[in-house]
Amino acid sequence: MKSSNSRPCRVGTNPFVHDLKFTVTEKIKIGLMSVTVFPVRLLLVSFFMLLGWPFAFAASLRRSDFVIEQPSLWMSFIDLSLRVIMRALWFCGGFHWIKVKGERVAPSEAPILTVAPHSSYFDAIPVTMTMCSIVTKLESRSIPVWGTLISYIRPVYVFRSDQDSRRKTVEEIKRRAQSGGEWPQIMIFPEGTCTNRSGLILYKAGAFIPGLPVQPVVLRYPNKLDTISWTWRGPGAFKILWLTLCQPHNPLEIEYLPIYTPSNEEKENPALFANNVRKLMAKALDVPLTDLSFDDREISLSRGPLRIHDYSSLLEFHQLVCRLGLRAGRTDEGLEEQARRARKLQGDRLSLEDFAQFLNLPVTDTLTQVHSLFDQHEDGQIDVRQYVVALSTVYQPLKSMETLKLAFKMYENEENGYVIKEDLAAIFEIMLGVKKVELSGLFSSLDGPHAAKITYDELHHFIEQHPLFVQDNLDFENHPRNSCISKPKSCNGHSKDD
């Protein structure tokens, strides 16, 4: 699969991976803190969390989620008490001094605060300092103690079981944002997930759909040892808590940037609005932009003997597929059905119009871009089996052997189940995201009597016996063994060994 070169590849260090490495001195320090300071801090943090619960519970009684009540001395007292209790909680957790730069504007001026980078549950600190509303999943309301504290700040709940959840969430954000400051400000983390702060990933558009001014807020944790980041691959939630409470001090800096007022063009195009705010915040943070999104995380985290080595073209394909609406609601049965239909074509090449008919979609610019990714000979014809392999790869990137099995169903000979060498090379090129796969090393290692062809069972058994299958038995452009470094060179710079 080729790249359309429609946009530059700007994926640096994998933002969803966090590796912690300790020096001997740091290990000794953590060991001493674990038996002295950590138990005391954990006890105090738990105490203050429990202390805040009755205040939040009392304030939440008989309160509507859709109507804001008039200010009262009682509510002002509860609000002040909770702010003091939460600040004491964070102080006991080692966040002794929190530096605040800039000034938060009134809700009437900017009803939405966009906060980035989002890297940890410790990002709740600015929420408890401001008591702004947040967007959170409905299940968080049932978390013991903490769920009541969350309910107090009147969050916008996301009903994930509701298929219409995204639209309803956006409508509620819009309703509150357009209240003229009647509702509290909404603090939104537009990245939609936690990263390691190495760059800003693509923003979700929800905060920008209302087309109203927003105030960007950037967070910095300038600690030497990053025990804060809680990502998709790295230390778990309790380990992060333990290591952070074992640090003598955990610095945090919150900076409120000037209000960003969207242009007429940005009001009509929330994606443009979001990206321009992202650029502004990346400049303030002095970090690069990363063309990955929350939906791309599994692609970047693929692992196993057939993990993706260069996911630049697959990321581009995935974004186009999402734009066509082909990723949402995708099921294993749907993939199997497309594979059966592709097999019936027996390698017949499809024009753009035939491809549109195969997918039951109209011909659009986006579909044209998808078609061009598989137009290897630049003759306007594609092998739709390659499209199905790519779709399976981005749909289930953590199940590469399932994709390989699906590919064999499309390519194998009906009589004996063999796939020839050339077809297998094409399959690997798409699954690994590489070019010019050479299989001479693989077939020379096989003991079977059949030259240049193989069944799925034979290949599966061989891969199980060779954990470093790709490194030892395949060859392709920019292969790790041909580089001076031990990791595959790709535009994403992913150097974490999965």
Mean pLDDT of 151-163: 81
- 191 in Cβ contact with 275 (< 8 Å): no
Given a cut of 50, whether residue 486 has pLDDT beyond it is no
Given a cut of 70, whether residue 417 has pLDDT beyond it is yes
- 150 in Cβ contact with 143 (< 8 Å): yes
At 161 the pLDDT is: 65
At 9 the pLDDT is: 47
Give the C-alpha separation, 310 to 12, whole Å.
Answer: 12
Closest CA to 429 of 386, 392, 468, 394: 386
Residue 266: pLDDT band (50, 70, 90) is very high
Look at strands 214-220 and 252-256 and give their pairing.
Answer: antiparallel
Residue 403: pLDDT band (50, 70, 90) is very high
Q: What are phi and psi of 215, to 5 degrees?
A: -110, 115
**Model pLDDT for residues 425-442, shown as the tens digit of each residue:** 999 999 999 888 888 888
Residue 44: pLDDT band (50, 70, 90) is very high
Beta strand ranges found along 172-226 (DSSP E) = 186-188, 214-220
Residue 364: pLDDT band (50, 70, 90) is very high
Percentage of the chain beyond pLDDT 90 is 57
Give the C-alpha separation, 295 to 311, whole Å.
Answer: 14
At 490 the pLDDT is: 37
Give the C-alpha separation, 166 to 174, whole Å.
Answer: 12
**Model pLDDT for residues 283-339, shown as the tens digit of each residue:** 999 999 988 888 888 888 888 888 888 888 898 899 899 888 876 556 778 889 999
Give the C-alpha separation, 320 to 314, whole Å.
Answer: 10
Percentage of the chain beyond pLDDT 70 is 91
* Paired tokens of 387: 């499209």
**Model pLDDT for residues 7-26, shown as the tens digit of each residue:** 444 555 789 999 999 999 99
* Paired tokens of 24: 């001997």
Q: What is the pTM of this model?
A: 0.83
- Mean pLDDT of all residues belonging to the chain: 88
| 66 DSSP assignment | S
**Model pLDDT for residues 202-237, shown as the tens digit of each residue:** 999 989 999 999 999 999 999 889 999 999 999 999
